[in-house]
Structure 1
Amino acid sequence: MKRFAFKMYLKPGCEAEYEKRHAALWPELRRRIADSGVRNYSIYWDRDTNILFGYQEVTGDANSQDAEAADEITHRWWDYMADIMEVNPDNSPVTVPIKEVMHLD
């Protein structure tokens, strides 16, 4: 199992909408993420910077942010979220991997 941490950027004033949309995460997206081998997935919001911090454990080679492995459901979700986050030209979230420097079980 690989651990993957990353940050994304939430647009100012979109905090409540971001939480609302994730509270109603599409069941088909939830299944897609699980079926792709992603486990223990969390997203945290830093109120001071509007940076979103994501963490997930991955059994396969791809992670939930991997644009090359994204399917139609994931692309629809990215399109749905594009108005409230910083995104790439394909509407995938701007994702910056964060290097692990310490781990303790």
Structure 2
Amino acid sequence: MQRMAMVTGIKPEKIAEYKRLHANVWPDILDQISQCNIRNYSIYLREPENLLFGYWEYHGNDFAADAAKMAADPKTKEWWVLTDPCQTPMPNSAYGEQWSMLEEVFHHD
């Protein structure tokens, strides 16, 4: 198992919409997350900085392949059409990078 985390910004005027979407995530999206070996997935909001922090545990053997599988899924693409406009990538993100992966620097069980 590998712990992974990511961060992105959120537009203040889109916070309510983003919360509404995530209060009723489509079953197909939840199923796709599970099929891609992601477990214990959470997204947190930090205000007033307007940051989203995502955390999950990856239980697969090839994260790049699972991430590509998720990105190719038609329902996931449809979901991202709704969620991506709510977000603002970090200032130094690579072109097209919606979420920036974070490096784990400490963990305690």
Q: Shared fold by TM > 0.5?
A: yes
Q: What interval of TM-score do these two structures reach, taking the shorter chain for normalisation? A: 0.7 to 0.9
**Cross-structure match for 1:99:** 103
State the TM-score, normalizing by the size of structure 1: 0.84
Structure 1: give runs of 5+ residues left out of the alignment: none
Map 1:25-36 → 2, pairs under 5 A: 25-36=25-36
Q: Displacement of 1:86 after TM fit?
A: 2.6
Equivalents in 1 of 2:43, 2:85: separation in Å? 18
The range that moved more, 21-30 or 4-13, is 4-13
Map 1:51-90 → 2, pairs under 5 A: 51-60=51-60, 61-62=62-63, 66=67, 68-69=68-69, 70=71, 71-86=73-88
Deviations 1:1-51 (A, max 9, x none): 011010011112111111100001000100110111100101000102111
Deviations 1:55-92 (A, max 9, x none): 000012227x93x33121211111111331236xxxx7
Q: Displacement of 1:93 after TM fit?
A: 6.3
Question: Contact 1:82–1:93 (CA<8 Å) still a contact in 2?
Answer: no
Q: How many residue pairs were aligned?
A: 99
Q: Name the structure where helix makes up a greater proportion of residues.
A: 2
Question: Contact 2:84–2:98 (CA<8 Å) still a contact in 1?
Answer: no
How much is the aligned-residue C-alpha RMSD, in angstroms? 2.0
Equivalents in 2 of 1:93, 1:41: separation in Å? 19
**Cross-structure match for 2:92:** none
State the TM-score, normalizing by the size of structure 2: 0.81
Structure 2: give runs of 5+ residues left out of the alignment: 90-95
List, as ranges, runs of 4+ consecutive aligned residues in structure 1 with deviation greater than 2 Å: none
Question: Contact 1:8–1:96 (CA<8 Å) still a contact in 2?
Answer: yes
